[in-house]
């Protein structure tokens, strides 16, 4: 059953996938592994991690606990993760003992917004204009280039709009830089986009690539609220989005599912906003609208299986349940969609508590 | 979070559903509970029960272990089961401490093939001709009524064709009766049916009833091999099948999902073969082809939630993977369907190891 590091043999049913992180993504990955007859071992530093509820093998330990990491690695045939901010030292500790997908290189690049943007621009793909802000002088000078309004972001550890501030002039930029504790940052020119979209795609160990139909995404307060398929993207734009994802995956020698968030310009241009090296909230609708969900696809990829069919059989709208929206579960459960609640012990403002996917009809071009 | 026995309040997310039995049905029930934010506690007497892999609360104990049953009942808000042969004493022990759905009455009737047939006939529904065989004399006399060929079945504890023998005359019947250890039996007249079908349906605690589209089922060697929706049943027959299920559910004051296996006569008549008081193999296609699967529907019913939408969005074919067919997982995983492997530690002949569901197109009448 064991897959040696570097082995190309697929992991047989009964094998164990280690998952770093115990949130809703780890939970849905664990259930997808189970459906394929694979076991999941969840590693989390949170005692009430939602993913612990759906697996039989659990490690509750700090991400820096090398003894726990060693034991975890030794109990798994392959390791993956549900969040991109895994410390590099954690990845290094695991990688010496077990295969880990996606690898340290993809993580390192996507953990740093500036490195990520440089990588994307280096592929010839479009992004918002950006510049590094490493000191107060950078924050002042950034506006000399006429980038106003803009968004100052910390280079590392941001998510769901955290570590981001809209700034309109040099004084704002300096204030925001100070508010973020003078952490290295990136100033991104504000893009006046028509709408947001994303591509969720997978690359297998054998290099095979498969993209899902790109959803249109609506955010509020930096948090994804709704994903809709089909989007307003044209067929040509959908193909372009898939090609963007493929170029990124190949350049990173990526294995697993990832998402590329896109701004769709009013001129139709697709600008890459960011890369998430993991299953993604904007792909949750694949659970109901595709034969192979993004979670199963990721498990297939990291287990060395062939990818499944990503085609969409239905149109769908996925809505997140944020904070106390989940308290309304009785009404939501009666509403005809597929309700997912993540088993979180406490409702907190801004916390993703669940989602609901409504199938809105058979996919038009299949009819 | 606690639902008192008799309480009508729905079980809130975070509550615990106890499931007696740790096979693939318990496994898929546990995963459905998790999707709704409910916890599942599996009780099984098998150390490597497949359902143990997908839950965090597990009891490994004999079904007659009253201390373990008490602790199990006290840890659960409501209890259900994945197999119909739960000993009556087990149900009684649990029922005093926690709500249990479906209840003792439905179990008692469906555990005995003769009582079940009498119950069905008492509702005015059609069955194969049947007669009790309690002694060798009964076995001899049964053929006096011209029931040849026929099937002798033990009244209790049969499944997947076990405890059944085709007999053509009194001598065969006596031999089979002896071969079954002279266990009380039932002789059923052989029905020369056109095909087999089933209705999988649910009844909620509030009496609300919902049936899935009836699949057409193909058996070999007494084991279900394939279920197909839509079946060859006409719209009128589908409606009749639903009405049969509804009458049975109401007469049993049933709560949860159940299946009614049907013979479809060459004259179009629907004969009830048997009732399964649980989620059913012929309903596995609902995982992909419906927004609410039979597993979620059962969890909703026993948790006191409103039932979900049972409508089917796609046509589907579900095929069981029996014995070493599951060894072919690499080819199956590449075949484009939704592969389910049950995490069983050992392949054995005749053992249900998994299934695969292929969606064959959007449901015709939605187009």
For residue A54, which residues of chain B lie inside 8 Å, CB to CB? 30-31, 34, 54-56
- What's the rounded mean pLDDT across residues B339-346? 96
Token pair belonging to B259: 């299946």
**Shortest alpha-carbon distance between residue B258 and chain A (Å):** 21
Interface test with B, best of A38, A307, A339, A364 (most B CBs within 10 A): A339
Per-residue pLDDT, A6: 47
**0.90 surpassed by complex ipTM:** yes
CB contact under 8 A, A363 and B361: no
Looking at the DSSP bridge assignments, the partners of residue B132 are: B186
Token pair belonging to A27: 């939970």
Measured distance CA(B188)–CA(B163) in Å, rounded: 13
Among residues A231, A227, A221, the alpha carbon closest in space to that of A162 is found at A221
Residue of B nearest to A307 (CA): B334
For residue B330, which residues of chain A lie inside 8 Å, CB to CB? 10, 305-306
**Boundaries of every domain in chain A:** 16-100, 129-189, 193-366
When CB atoms are compared, the residue of B291, B292, B366 closest to A362 is B366
When CB atoms are compared, the residue of A292, A334, A367 closest to B306 is A334
For residue B364, count other CB atoms closer than 10 A to its CB. 8
Measured distance CA(B271)–CA(B258) in Å, rounded: 17
- What superfamily in CATH does domain A193-366 come from? ATP-grasp fold, B domain (3.30.470.20)
- What's the rounded mean pLDDT across residues A198-208? 97
- What's the rounded mean pLDDT across residues B306-311? 96
Share of chain A above pLDDT 90, in %: 76
- What's the rounded mean pLDDT across residues A162-182? 86
pLDDT tens, position by position, B283-302: 999 999 999 999 999 999 99
Strand order in the sheet with A39-44: A57-60, A39-44, A16-20, A78-81
pLDDT at position B311 over 60: yes
Q: Yes or no: say if A258 and A102 are a contact pair by the CB < 8 Å rule.
A: yes
Residue of A nearest to B15 (CA): A343
Helix/strand/coil for A250? helix
Question: Would you tell me the crossing angle of helices B24-35 and A24-35 to the nearest 10 degrees?
Answer: 160
**Shortest alpha-carbon distance between residue A277 and chain B (Å):** 24
Q: What top-level class would CATH report for the domain B16-100?
A: alpha beta
pLDDT at position A97 over 70: yes
Measured distance CA(B57)–CA(A81) in Å, rounded: 24
pLDDT at position A17 over 60: yes
Measured distance CA(B340)–CA(B329) in Å, rounded: 10
Average pLDDT, chain B: 92
Per-residue pLDDT, A5: 42
Average pLDDT, chain A: 92
Per-residue pLDDT, A310: 96
Q: What is the pTM of this model?
A: 0.94
CB contact under 8 A, A35 and B340: yes
pLDDT tens, position by position, B50-107: 999 999 899 999 999 999 999 999 999 999 999 988 998 899 899 989 999 998 999 9
pLDDT at position A144 over 70: no
Please give, one letter per residue, the 3-state secondary structure of A115-134: HHHHHHHHCCCCECCEEEEC
For A299, which DSSP code? Answer: H
CB contact under 8 A, A31 and B36: no
pLDDT at position A23 over 90: yes
Interface test with A, best of B37, B39, B59, B360 (most A CBs within 10 A): B37
Per-residue pLDDT, B162: 72
Per-residue pLDDT, A2: 36
Q: How many CA atoms lie less than 13 Å away from B30 in the CB half-sphere?
A: 33
Measured distance CA(A10)–CA(A2) in Å, rounded: 10
Query: Is omega for the bond preceding A149 within 30 degrees of 0, making it cis?
Result: yes
pLDDT tens, position by position, A248-263: 999 999 999 999 999 9
For residue B77, count other CB atoms closer than 10 A to its CB. 24
**Which numeric CATH code is attached to A129-189?**
3.30.1490.20
* Range in A118-122, A167-171, B228-232, B261-265 with the lowest mean pLDDT: A167-171
Per-residue pLDDT, A159: 62
Q: If 0-12 CB within 10 Å is exposed, 13-18 middle and 19+ buried, where does residue A204 land?
A: buried
Per-residue pLDDT, B363: 86
* Range in A113-127, B2-16, B250-264 with the lowest mean pLDDT: B2-16
Token pair belonging to A7: 């082995």
Share of chain B above pLDDT 90, in %: 77
- What's the rounded mean pLDDT across residues A359-365? 85
For residue B4, count other CB atoms closer than 10 A to its CB. 10
């Amino acid at each position: 059953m064991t897959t040696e590091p570097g082995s190309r043999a697929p992991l047989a049913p009964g094998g164990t996938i280690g998952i770093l992180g115990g949130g809703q993504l780890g939970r849905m990955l664990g259930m997808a592994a189970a459906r394929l007859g694979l076991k999941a071992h969840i590693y989390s530093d949170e005692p009430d991690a939602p993913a612990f509820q759906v697996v039989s093998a659990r490690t509750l330990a700090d991400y820096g606990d090398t003894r726990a990491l060693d034991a975890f690695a030794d109990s798994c045939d392959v390791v993956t993760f549900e969040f991109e901010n895994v410390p590099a030292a954690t990845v290094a500790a695991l990688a010496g003992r077990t295969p880990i997908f996606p690898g340290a290189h993809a993580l390192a690049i996507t953990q740093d917004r500036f490195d990520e943007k440089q990588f994307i621009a280096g592929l010839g793909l479009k992004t918002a204009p950006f510049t590094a802000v490493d000191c107060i002088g950078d924050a002042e000078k950034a506006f000399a280039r006429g980038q106003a309004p803009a968004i100052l972001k910390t280079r590392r550890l941001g998510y769901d709009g955290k570590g981001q501030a809209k700034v309109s002039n040099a004084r704002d930029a300096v204030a925001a830089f100070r508010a973020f504790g003078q952490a290295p940052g990136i100033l991104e020119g504000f893009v006046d986009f028509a709408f947001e979209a994303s591509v969720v795609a997978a690359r297998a160990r054998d290099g095979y690539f498969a993209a899902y139909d790109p959803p249109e995404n609506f955010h509020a307060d930096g948090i994804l609220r709704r994903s809709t398929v089909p989007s307003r993207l044209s067929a040509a734009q959908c193909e372009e989005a898939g090609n963007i994802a493929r170029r990124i995956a190949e350049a990173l020698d990526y294995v697993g599912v990832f998402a590329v968030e896109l701004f769709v310009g009013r001129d139709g241009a697709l600008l890459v906003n960011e890369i998430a090296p993991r299953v993604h909230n904007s792909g949750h609708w694949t659970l109901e609208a595709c034969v192979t969900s993004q979670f199963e696809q990721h498990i297939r990829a990291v287990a060395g299986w062939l990818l499944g069919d990503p085609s969409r059989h239905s149109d769908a709208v996925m809505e997140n349940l944020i904070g106390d929206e989940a308290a309304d579960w009785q009404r939501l459960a009666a509403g005809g969609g597929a309700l997912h609640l993540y088993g979180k012990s406490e409702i907190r403002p801004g916390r993703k508590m669940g989602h609901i996917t409504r199938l809105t009809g058979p996919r038009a071009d299949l009819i």
